[in-house]
Structures are given as structure tokens and as C-alpha cells.
Structure 1
Amino acid sequence: MAETLDLSPAADRMTGLLEGIDDDHLDQPTPCDGMPVRVLIDHVLGLSLAFEAAARKDLGAFTDAAPSPGAADLPDDWRTVGRDRLAALRLAWRDPAAWSGPTRAGGLDLPGNIAGLVALDELVVHGWDLAVATGRSYSCTPFEIAACTAFAESITDEQRDAGGLFGPAVPVPDRASDLDRLIGLTGRDPAWAPDGT
């Protein structure tokens, strides 16, 4: 049986972040180039569907292509939709069967345990994106940071240059926190701020 991870803290944290976003935050920039808050929320809603389907091995429309975020797609009740989708995602990955055997996400065939790790990484890193974009503090467990850091470290420079999941790593000081180190590995500046300072 593949090693399983608990996605519940990351899913619950993302739910809290979404519920705390005001409508006047929606057009603010995020650390993801060209993705204001509303577009990043739409991406989170889409990836929640995709990775729930991947956990259940329900291969099809949700798993065959990467979510294509668009601000026009953000439903009026996005907070409720987000809560419900994240709850379903969390529940799907509680099943040990989700972590073994093949599945698919973003059009890529993956072992279940790798798909689960990618789902965790998406929740943790995009949680940071939304927190800093809306001026809130962000923390996660050392276990989550360690798992996501190991994943980010496995992405080669060639994959980064090809425009894959992460851009080129951003150097961070030796004294940087483990979370800042992870954020740098994902191609983000840990010191990013919405106003550019």
C-alpha cells in the first residue's frame, strides 16, 4: 500500500481562506503572473474537482486536461462551491485506495501517491498565494512543508524551463524559514506583496 498523506489540514485551511476573501479582493494581483485573486480562486475550484476525480479514479473530463481558470467562470456562490468541493476532495483522499494504483490529473498519468502529493502541493502553495494576495498571515504544518518541499525539489531545471508546474526557483537567504524555502522552490518570491514592495 502506498504511503498516504492527510490533506484535511490543507483543505480546511483553503476553505477558511476562501471564506475570508471579500469581494473587493477579487481583482487584486497574486504571486501568479496574470492571475488576479478571482482567477486563482477559479483555479482552486477546478483543481478541487480534478483531484477529487483523480482520487476516485474517475477518469474523464475532469482529469484529462489541466483546469483552465477564467474569471468569467467564477460562480456567484464561489465560497459555498469552494467549501463543498474542498470537503469532497478531502474525503476522497481519505480512502487508502486513492493512494495506490494509476490515476490521471491534468492529462498526465500518475501513480495515486504522486497525484495525492501534487494535490497537497496545490493546496499549500495556492493557499500561500491567496493569503499574501489578501494581506493575511499563513502557516502550515512542518509535515506539509517537508512533503511539498521534497516534491518541489524533484522538479528538474529542464521541467521548470519548459513551463511546467513551477518556474525557475527563486533564491532565498540561508536563514529563510522552511515555508519561505518551499515558496522559493515553486518559483515565487517569499517577499512578494500586492503593492510590489
Structure 2
Amino acid sequence: MDTRERLIETTRELLWERGYVGTSPKAIQQRSGAGQGSMYHHFHGKPDLALAAITRNADELRERARTAFDGPGTVTDRVTAYLRRERDALKGCPVGRLTQDPDVMADPDLRRPIEETFSWLTATLAGLLAQGRADGELDPALDPQATAAALVAVVQGAYVLARAAGTADLYAQAVDGALALIRPHRQKENH
């Protein structure tokens, strides 16, 4: 891994662990093994490096979600695959956690990849749910946009519950609850 990549990967880790304020240039340099000159050769400063790290986290979140959404099976199967994919529930979402960081949210450039990711995620889920409704898999009364927003909120809120209680079981319980809310909307095979 070259120096630029080490800096980005280290910043991703530190942002997830400590947030923006706790991720100092000195901490980045120490953990990555890169000198100050190398850091400023590749990036204009901490905000530029943080943007690269946040963008990478956002891109990876979208790619993992896309894998589930584009997978085999019914719409419900694909939504289930997304909700139940392997996550470190106690560590939290590397993108969602940054919404609690006032310095990130106050900076339009740092906030942008977070906003874009959650907008994409909600819109993609809404599109899947609309497809399921159009195909007769889901109840015609289901509101795809509202349901998609609720599902994204469940995932992010489930991280919070799991971290607060110190157990991933609460994450799994929240996901099971969300899936139970969708299942009654499935159309019966024989009308």
C-alpha cells in the first residue's frame, strides 16, 4: 500500500474510532507511519484527507448495499439480504456515525458524501419496494419512499441501540422487527 492509501485508510479508521476532532494530523501520521511532508504532499490538509476518507467509506457502503440489492431473489429477499448482511454492530456505521459529528456536519464538503449516500440508499430501497409493489409481491398500499426511509432509520438506529447496550443482539432484534413490518405487506400467492 502506498503512502497516499495508508493515509486514507488510517484516517478512515480514526474517523470511525474518534470522530473528526479526535482525528488529529499527528495521530494520522503516527498510525500510518507517514511523515508530515508526505501527508501534505498528497493532501492540502486535514479536511482534504478527511474528505477522501469519508468518500471512500461512502463508496464502500454503497457498493455493499448494491451487492445485496442486485442479488438474486424477490424484492423482499434482497431487502432482507441488505438488512442482515454482516456488520460490526457495536462499532457502528462508518458513515452514519459522522452525522453526530458537528464539525463534519458544519462543513458542506465533508457532509456532502454522507448526504449523497443516504439519499442514494433511500432512493434505491424505494425503487426496489416500488418494483415489488408493481410486480404484486408487495401490498399496493405500501408507500415505497416512507418504507425506505424507515428501513434506513432502523439500520442506523439499530447501531445506536447495540452500542448503547453493548450487545449486537439489539441490532439483530431491530432488523427482525423491521422485516416483520414488511412481511405483512407481501401479497398472497393465490388471490
Give the TM-score taking structure 2 as reference length.
Answer: 0.30
**More helix per residue: 1 or 2?**
2
Q: Which has the greater radius of gyration?
A: 2
Give the TM-score taking structure 1 as reference length.
Answer: 0.30
**More strand per residue: 1 or 2?**
1
Higher relative contact order (CA 8 A, sep 6+): 1
